[in-house]
Chains A and B, each alone.
Chain A
Amino acid sequence: MIGGLFIYNHKGEVLISRVYRDDIGRNAVDAFRVNVIHARQQVRSPVTNIARTSFFHVKRSNIWLAAVTKQNVNAAMVFEFLYKMCDVMAAYFGKISEENIKNNFVLIYELLDEILDFGYPQNSETGALKTFITQQGIKSQHQTKEEQSQITSQVTGQIGWRWEGIKYRRNELFLDVLESVNLLMSPQGQVLSAHVSGRVVMKSYLSGMPECKFGMNDKIVIEKQGKGTADETSKSGKQSIAIDDCTFHQCVRLSKFDSERSISFIPPDREFELMRYRTTKDIILPFRVIPLVREVGHTKLEVKVVIKSNFKPSLLAQKIEVRIPTPLNTSGVQVICMKGKAKYKASENAIVWKIKRMAGMKESQISAEIELLPTNDKKKWARPPISMNFEVPFAPSGLKVRYLKVFEPKLNYSDHDVIKWVRYIGRSGIYETRC
C-alpha cells in the first residue's frame, strides 16, 4: 500500500509531505529529489526504485507528485490514485501550481487524510468530498446534526457518490463526448498508427435518485439487437463502432454491463466522467498533412506543407496549429502562407502556423525557405515529424450517443421531462506526419 505521498516544486523543494506508514523514513523525500528530480539524466520511467523503495510519480506542469511505498503494490492502482488526486485538487482550487498548493496546504493535508487511510485509497469522489471538506473553515453552525449523520451514512453507505433529497426545478443533463485522436503518418500518406482515446463526461442536474441508462452505437450491442431485424443490422451496422477497451465510473453497474452490455447507473450529482474508451478501427482523420521538403545545396531548405480538412463542409474546425520543425543549424527563415499566421520560433526550433477557423473539405498551404549555417558535423538532420493541433465538433471515432434514459420511480418526472444536451468535441492528441 502507499506508504507516503510527497509534492515537490520544480526545484525539488518539498511542498507537501504526508507519511502514512512507518516503513517510509525521512530520507525517502531526499532520495527522490536526488535520484529523480535532480538526476543528471532525465528520468523517463514513472516508477523509480531507490534502495528497495518504489516511487511512483506524475508531473503536472512544474509540480511533482510522488507516491512512495516499500511494498509490492499494484502500480496501476497507485497511478489511478495519483490522477484522482490531481482531479480532486483541480476541483478544489483550479490549476495545480506551486502558488496554489502553498495557499491551500491545510486543505491538501485535510484531503490527504480523507482520501488515503493508512495508505489505502478511500472515497475520492469530488462531489462527496466537497460536502464535508470545505475551504470556508468550520461550518458547524450551519450543519445540523442530521446533516452530519447524513454525510456519515452517505460516505460509508453503498452509494457513496449521491445522497437522498436532491431537488432541481428543471431536470437537465449535459453529455460531452471528448475525444483525442492520435496519428502517425508516413510522408506518402500511409497511416502508420492511429487511435482515438475518448471520454464521456456527464453533468447532471437531476432530482432524487434517478436510474439512468446510456446507449451508444457500440458494435456488439447493435449486432445483438439486430438479430431480430436483419435489415436494420445492415443499415446501422455501418455506423456502429468497435470499442477496443473501456473503463467506467464506479457508479456503473458492471455486472449488468458484463451480462447485457447495457450501461446503467445512478449518477453522481454534477459533473463526472462516465466512461473512458479507446478505438483503433475506422477512425475519421479530420486533417491530412502533405509535406514537401527539398534541400537546395547545403545551406538552404525549401519546405511546402499542404493541409486538407476532411469532414463535412458545414462543420468548422478551430484552433488549428501546425508545427514544422526546423534543422538545428537554421540561421534564417522566410514564410509565406495563404491563410492564418505563421512564425519561426527559434526557442522551439520550429515554424508555428496558426489558423483560427477552417471549414470542411478545404485546403490550405504554407511554404517556407530555411537558410542553414554550414556546420562541422556531418550528422544529418533527423527530420522530426510535423505535428498538428486542432479542435473539431464531431467524434473522430464515429461514436454516437443513441439514448440516455432517466427513470425516477419515486418522484413524478419522466424521461421526457428531462432536458438533455449532447456535444461532441474531437481534439488532436499526438497528430504527426513524417516529412
Chain B
Amino acid sequence: MPAVSKGDGMRGLAVFISDIRNCKSKEAEIKRINKELANIRSKFKGDRALDGYSKKKYVCKLLFIFLLGHDIDFGHMEAVNLLSSNRYTEKQIGYLFISVLVNSNSELIRLINNAIKNDLASRNPTFMGLALHCIANVGSREMAEAFAGEIPRILVAGDTMDSVKQSAALCLLRLYRTSPDLVPMGDWTSRVVHLLNDQHLGVVTAATSLITTLAQKNPEEFKTSVSLAVSRLSRIVTSASTDLQDYTYYFVPAPWLSVKLLRLLQCYPPPEDPAVRGRLTECLEAILNKAQEPPKSKKVQHSNAKNAVLFEAISLVIHHDSEPNLLVRACNQLGQFLQHRETNLRYLALESMCTLASSEFSHEAVKTHIETVINALKTERDVSVRQRAVDLLYAMCDRSNAQQIVAEMLSYLETADYSIREEIVLKVAILAEKYAVDYTWYVDTILNLIRIAGDYVSEEVWYRVIQIVINRDDVQGYAAKTVFEALQASACHENLVKVGGYILGEFGNLIAGDPRSSPLTQFHLLHSKFHLCSVPTRALLLSTYIKFVNLFPEVKGTIQDVLRSDSQLKNADVELQQRAVEYLRLSTVASTDILATVLEEMPPFPERESSILAKLKKKKGPSTVTDLEEAKRERSADVNGGPEPAPASTSAVSTPSPSADLLGLGAAPPAPAGPPPSSGGLLVDVFSDSPSAAAPLAPGSEDNFARFVCKNNGVLFENQLLQIGLKSEFRQNLGRMFIFYGNKTSTQFLNFTPTLICSDDLQANLSLQTKPVDPAVDGGAQVQQAVNIECVSDFTEAPVLNIQFRYGGTFQNVSVKLPITLNKFFQPTEMASQDFFQRWKQLSNPQQEVQSIFKAKHPMDTEVTKAKIIGFGSALLEEVDPNPANFVGAGIIHTRTAQIGCLLRLEPNLQAQMYRLTLRTSRETVSQRLCELLSEQF
C-alpha cells in the first residue's frame, strides 16, 4: 500500500465530524447536516471543476452523512469520477462510496463497470485489489454478470501477483455464492485446483475456500483436489512450527488452512489410491498425536487453534468412517475433553461423540464413556451441554445398557430444564420400547415417566403404551395390576388416569380375582378421579365404565346410576352427554351377548412406525434424528421387530372426531357386526355414522360432481378437516387440472397421499398424469397438485380421487369423484341455420340420436339455461330453430383418436315444466353420455 501522503488529513471532514459529535440534540444534528449538504450541492453544481482532493473530501462527507442514516441522492457521479483518479486514496474513497451506496442506475453502472474493467486490466496490484474488493462487496447479480468471466482468468493467469490472486479467489467465491449460475465452469477449474500447490499460503487458504464451495456443487470437476489437499496437509502437519513463519499462530502451523483443507476433504469419500490414503491416515494420526503433546503455550489461543484442527480432523474421520483404529483413537481423545474445564470443549466433545456413536466401529468405544456422560448430565451447569449429554446417551444406547441409561434419564428428568423435558420424555419412551426385553420393565418405566413428567407426556406416548399392552398378552395382567396400584396415589397425573382407565377397562378382569382390586374397588378408584379430569379423559372414562358393565355384571347398577346422574346426562359438553345417553341405553337395552360382542376386547394393533419416533423427528428437524435412527435400526436388528410403516390398506379408518376415541367404535371392524335384532332402531342409530373401512364416496360429492359438469373451478369437497378445490382448463383433447388440498385444522397431516383411481375401462380411454405431493401438510396450509389429462377416446365413467392421510394419530380416507367428463373436451362450432339442419339430417341414423324427456329440477329461466349450455361446452346457436323458445347447440368432441361432431336441441315446455333433449352425434356412446350429463343440469 502506498504511503499516505501529507495532504490526506482532510481537515474539513474532521471539523464536520467533530461538529456533528458536539451536537446537543437530534435537531441540531439535522440542521448541521442540511447546511453541509447545501454546501456540497453548491460545490458540485458544476460551474467550477473541483480538484481531486476536494472531491474526495466531499464524497467522504456524503458517505459519513449516509452512514449516519440520512438519504443521499446525489454525488454518485463525483464518486465515479474518483475511480478514474490515479491516486490511491482518491480511488479508495471512490470505491468505498460505490460499495456502500450502490445504485442500480443503468447509466452509472456502465461507468462503474468501465472503471473497474480498466483497473482490472491495469498491472497495478493495488488497483486490481481495490476493484476486486468492490466487486465482492457489492456482490450483486449485475456485477456477477459483468465480471464472472473475467475473474477466473485473473485467478489462474501466471503473472498475477499473490495478493491479487487471493482477492480474486475470494471475490469469485462471493459471486458464486450469490449467483452460482453465472459463474462458468471451464478449463480454469483444473488450474484453480493447482493453486493448492502455490508457494504463498494466503493464496492457498483463499483457494481452498473457493474450491470447497465449488466442490460441493460439482464434486466430479474437482476430484483431483483430494490428492493435492492431502499432500498440502501433510506438509503443514509435518512442518515444524517455525517453518511457516507468518502462518504459524501460537505455535500451531497454519490452523485456518488446515481446517479448510480438512473441510474440503469432507466433500469426498476416502481416497481410493492407497498411497494418498496412507498419507492422509498419517496426517490424521499426526494431528491426533500432536493433540496429545503437552501444550507449547498457556495462552488460550494456542489450545483453541490446536483443538479446532483436532475437531475438524475428527469430523473427517467420522465422515470417512472407514478406519476403526482412528475412530477409536478419536473417541478416546474426545473422552478426555469430556471432563475438560472449558464448557465449549465439553459441548463439542459430546456433539462429536454423538456422531461417533452411530459408527459401528466406534460404538463400543463410545460406550466406555457412559459413566462420564451420566456424570456430566448430573453435574453440568450449562443447559446446552446437558442437552448434548442427553443426545449422546440416546445415541449410545443399546440393549446392554438400555436399563441403566433409561434409569439415569428418568432420574435426570426430575431436575431437567423445562425446555428439553418433552424431548427427554420422548427419548425415554422410545428407548424403553425399543430395548425392552422384559415388558414389565417397560410398563414400569412408562408409568414412572408419567408420574415424573406427566405434563410433558404427549398423546403419542401413552397411545403407544396401550398399543403395546394390547398387543402383548403376557404383560396385560401385570399392567393392570401396576396401573391399579399407581392410581391409588392421592394425586396422579391425568395421563395416568387415561392409561389407567383404558387398561382397566380392557383388562380389569385379570385382577378382579384379588379382593383388594375387586370390580367395585376398581370402579370407585377410577370414579374418584373422574371429576378432576378434562373432558376427553372423562369421555374415555365413560367408555371404561361401559366396558366394566360388560366385564363385571355385578357393578352394572352402580354404573347405570352414575350414567343416569344429571351431571352426565345433562352435561354441557355434547360428547359427554352423548356418550352417557348412548351407554346408558346400551346397558339397559342390550342383552349380555350383544354387550359382549359390542364391547369385545380390542384386537391387536397393526405394527407400524412408532408414532413417538415420528414426533421426535418432527421436533428435532428431519435430518439429525433420521440419520441416527437409520444407523441404529441397521445395527441393532431390533428385538421388537423393527418398526415398519404400515401398508395403508391395513390401517383402520377412524372417526374424524379429534377426541381421544380409544374405544374405537368406528375403528374396530368386528365390533358393529350387523345391527343386533333385539336392540331395535337405537343401536342402528348409534353406529350408523361410523364409516366403513372401504371409504365410500364422501356424502355430497355426487352433488358437487354434477355442479362441475358446466363449470371448471370451485370447491369440490369439504369436511371439518379438509377442503378440496379445483381449477381446470381444457383445450381440444388435452386438459390440466389443479387440485388444491387445504388443511382446515391447526395440526399437520402426515402421510398425505392422494391417488387417482381409474377403472380399467377408463384407463384405456383417459390418460391422467400427476406428480406426488408432499406427504406432510401443515395446519392451515394448502398444497397443490397438477393433473395432466388427455382424452384418448370417449369415456363414460369419471376417475375417483382417493385421499389418505393421518390426522392426530388416526387414519383418514376420503374418496371423491373427480369431475372430468366427456363434455370438457367440447369445442364449440358456429354454424348457420341451413348448415345445422343439413347436418342434423345427416345424423338421422337411429343409433346416433338419443332423446330424453324429463321434468325440470330448477326454475325454467332462459338466461340460466343458455349459460348452462355454453358452460357445457357447445356453441349456442341463435335463430336457428324456427321456435325461438328452443335452444340449439353444436360442437365437436376432441379425443386423440377421433373427433366427434355433436348437435343438440333442447325444447322446454313451460306449462308442463318439462324438457325434451335431443342429441345427435356420430357415435352412439357419446350421444348417450352427453345426454345423461346434460339432462342432469336442468
A residues near B (Cβ < 8 Å) are: 10, 62, 328-332, 346-349, 371, 373-377, 379
Q: Is the CB of B45 within 8 A of A346?
A: no
Given contacts A330-B38, A347-B31, contact A377 B73 (CB under 8 A): yes
Q: In the complex the two chains form, is B34's CB within 8 Å of A331's CB?
A: no
Task: List B contacts of A346 (CB < 8 A).
Answer: 34-35, 37-39
Max chain B C-beta neighbours (<10 A), residue from A328, A349, A373, A374? A373
Confirm or deny: B108 has a beta carbon within 8 angstroms of a beta carbon on chain A.
yes
* Contact yes or no, A331 B76, CB < 8 A: no
Pair B108/A332 contact, Cβ less than 8 Å: no
Q: Check B32 against A375 for contact (C-beta < 8 Å).
A: no
**B45: contacting residue among A328, A373, A375, CB under 8 A:** A373
Determine which residue in A62, A376, A377 has the highest number of CB atoms from chain B within 10 A of its CB, and name it: A376
Closest to A374 in B: B74
Contact A10 B25, beta carbon cutoff 8 Å: yes
**A373 and B35 within 8 A (CB):** no
| Apart from the given pairs A332-B45, A376-B108, 8 other A-B contacts in the complex at a CB distance below 8 Å | A62-B24, A347-B34, A348-B31, A349-B34, A349-B38, A375-B73, A376-B103, A376-B105
Instruction: Select one of A10, A348, A374, A379 contacting B34, CB under 8 A.
Output: A348
Q: Are A329 and B45 in contact (CB under 8 A)?
A: no
Question: B41 in the interface, Cβ–Cβ < 8 Å?
Answer: yes
Q: With A and B bound together, what is the CA distance between A419 and B50 in angstroms?
A: 71
For the complex, give the distance between the alpha carbons of A374 and B73 in Å: 9
In the bound complex, do residue A331 and residue B73 qualify as a contact, i.e. CB atoms below 8 Å apart?
A: no
- Per-residue CB contact flags for chain B residues 16-53 toward chain A (1 = under 8 Å, else 0) read 00000000110000011011011101101100000000
Binding site for A on B (CB under 8 A): 24-25, 31-32, 34-35, 37-39, 41-42, 44-45, 73-74, 76, 103, 105, 108
| Residues of chain A lying within 8 A (CB to CB) of residue B41 | 329-331, 373
Q: Which of B31, B35, B38, B45 has the most CB of A within 10 A?
A: B38
Given A10-B24, A332-B42; A376-B35 close (CB under 8 Å): no
- The answer to whether A347 touches B35 (Cβ under 8 A) is yes
Interchain nearest-CB distance for B41 vs A (Å): 4
Known: A10-B24, A62-B25, A376-B103. A329 touches B73 (CB 8 A): yes
CB neighbours of B76 from chain A (8 A): 376
Residues of B within 8 A of A329 (CB): 41, 73-74
- Which of the residues A330, A348, A371, A379 comes within 8 Å of B73, measured between beta carbons? A379
B contact residues around A332 at 8 Å (CB): 42, 45
The docked-state distance in angstroms from the alpha carbon of A200 to that of B41 is 48
| Chain B residues with CB under 8 A of A375 | 73-74
Instruction: Tell whether A373 pairs with B34 under 8 Å between CB atoms, given A62-B24, A331-B44, A346-B39.
Output: no
Residue pair B25, A331 in contact (C-beta under 8 Å): no
Of the candidates A62, A346, A348, the one having the most CB atoms from chain B within 10 angstroms of its own CB is A346
Which of A62, A347, A379 touches B32 (beta carbons < 8 Å)? A347
Give every chain B residue within 8 A of A377 (Cβ-Cβ). 73
- Are B42's CB and A376's CB within 8 A? no
Q: Please report the C-alpha to C-alpha distance between residue A329 and residue B77 in the assembled complex, in whole angstroms.
A: 15
Residues of chain B lying within 8 A (CB to CB) of residue A347: 31-32, 34-35, 38
Residues from chain B with Cβ under 8 Å of A379 in the complex: 73
Most buried by B among A10, A331, A349: A331
Determine the distance from Cα of A21 to Cα of B25 in the docked complex, in whole angstroms. 32
Assembled-state Cα–Cα distance A376/B80 (Å)? 13
A328 to B37, CA, bound (A): 9
| Cα-based distance from A349 to B71 in the complex (angstroms) | 15
Closest residue to A332 on the B side, CB-wise? B42
Nearest-neighbour CB distance to chain A for B328, whole angstroms, equals 54
Bound complex: CA of A62 vs CA of B105, how far in Å? 41
- Whether A331 and B45, one on each chain, are in contact in the complex, defined by CB atoms closer than 8 angstroms, is yes
Smallest CB gap from B45: residue in A? A331
Contact sample, A vs B, 16 pairs, CB 8 Å cutoff = A62-B25, A328-B37, A328-B73, A329-B41, A329-B73, A329-B74, A332-B42, A346-B34, A347-B34, A371-B45, A375-B74, A376-B74, A376-B76, A376-B108, A377-B73, A379-B73
Distance between B338 CB and nearest chain A CB, rounded to angstroms: 40
Q: Give the 7 A-B residue pairs with the shortest CB-CB distance, closest first.
A: A346-B38, A347-B31, A347-B35, A331-B41, A377-B73, A331-B45, A375-B73
CA distance A230 to B753 in the complex (A): 90
Chain A residues closer than 8 Å to B32, beta-carbon distance: 347
Closest partner residue, chain A, to B39 (CB atom):
A346
A349 to B37, CA, bound (A): 10
Measured CA separation A329–B35 after assembly (Å): 12
For the complex formed, measure the closest distance between the CB of A263 and the CB atoms of chain B, giving whole angstroms.
Answer: 41
Minimum C-beta distance from B108 to chain A (A): 7
One of A328, A330, A348, A373 near B44 (C-beta < 8 A)? A373
In Å, the complex CA distance between A349 and B42 comes to 13
Provide the bound-state CA to CA distance between A375 and B44, in Å. Answer: 11
How long is the Cα–Cα vector from A377 to B37 in the complex, in angstroms?
16
Residues of A with C-beta under 8 A to B25: 10, 62
Once bound together, how far apart are the Cα atoms of A331 and B105, in whole Å?
A: 22
Structural contact, A373 and B74, CB atoms closer than 8 A:
yes
- Shortest beta-carbon distance from A356 to chain B in Å: 25
Bound-state Cα–Cα, A276 to B103, Å:
54
Closest to B69 in A: A40
Give the chain A neighbours of B37 by CB distance below 8 A.
328, 346
Q: Please report the C-alpha to C-alpha distance between residue A396 and residue B146 in the assembled complex, in whole angstroms.
A: 67
CB neighbours of B45 from chain A (8 A): 331-332, 371, 373
In the bound complex, CA of A375 to CA of B103 (Å): 12
Please, how many angstroms separate the alpha-carbon atoms of A349 and B32 in the complex? 11
Question: Which chain B positions have C-beta within 8 A of A331?
Answer: 38, 41-42, 44-45
State how many angstroms separate the Cβ of A80 from the closest Cβ of chain B.
Answer: 27
Taking CB atoms, residues of chain A closer than 8 Å to B44 are 331, 373
Question: With the chains together, A377 CA to B103 CA distance in Å?
Answer: 10
CB distance from A378 to the nearest CB of B (A): 10
Give chain A residues whose Cβ lies under 8 Å from the Cβ of B24. Answer: 10, 62
CB distance from A370 to the nearest CB of B (A): 11
Quote the shortest CB–CB distance from A184 to chain B (angstroms).
24
A303 to B293, CA, bound (A): 83
B572 to chain A, nearest CB (A): 33
Output the nearest chain A residue to B77 by Cβ-Cβ distance.
Answer: A376
The CA of A56 and the CA of B34, in the complex, are separated in Å by: 31
In the docked arrangement, what's the CA distance between A291 and B25, Å?
33
Q: With the chains together, A329 CA to B44 CA distance in Å? A: 11
List, in ascending order, chain A residues with CB within 8 A of B103's CB.
376
- Docked Cα-Cα span, A373 to B76, in Å, equals 12
Instruction: Report how far A171 CA is from B34 CA in the complex, Å.
Output: 54
Question: Which of B31, B41, B45, B108 neighbours the largest number of chain A CB atoms within 10 Å of its CB?
Answer: B41
When distances are taken between beta carbons in the complex, the residues of chain B under 8 Å from A376 are 73-74, 76, 103, 105, 108
Report the Cα distance A375→B71, complex, angstroms.
12
B35, B74, B105, B108 interface centre (most CB from chain A within 10 Å):
B74
CA–CA, A377 and B72, complex, Å: 10
Residue of A nearest to B25 (CB): A10
A363 to B32, CA, bound (A): 35
Chain A hits for B39, CB < 8 A: 346
Looking across the interface, which residue of chain B has its beta carbon closest to that of A98? B24
Per the bound structure, the CA–CA distance linking A332 and B42 in Å amounts to 6
Residue of A nearest to B107 (CB): A376
The distance in angstroms between the C-alpha atoms of A62 and B76, with both chains bound, is 36
| Residues in A whose Cβ lies below 8 Å from that of B34 | 346-349
- What is the bound-complex CA distance between A70 and B249, given in angstroms? 56
A175→B351 CA distance, assembly (Å): 83
Determine the distance from Cα of A62 to Cα of B29 in the docked complex, in whole angstroms. 13
Cα A50 to Cα B39 with chains together (Å) = 42
With both beta carbons as reference points, the residue of chain B lying nearest to A326 in the complex is identified as B38
- CA A62 to CA B28, docked complex, whole Å: 11
Instruction: Give the distance in Å from the alpha carbon of A346 to the alpha carbon of B42 in the complex.
Output: 11
Kindly state the separation between the CA atoms of A331 and B44 in the bound complex, as whole angstroms.
8
Within the complex, the shortest CB–CB distance from A376 to chain B, in Å, comes to: 5
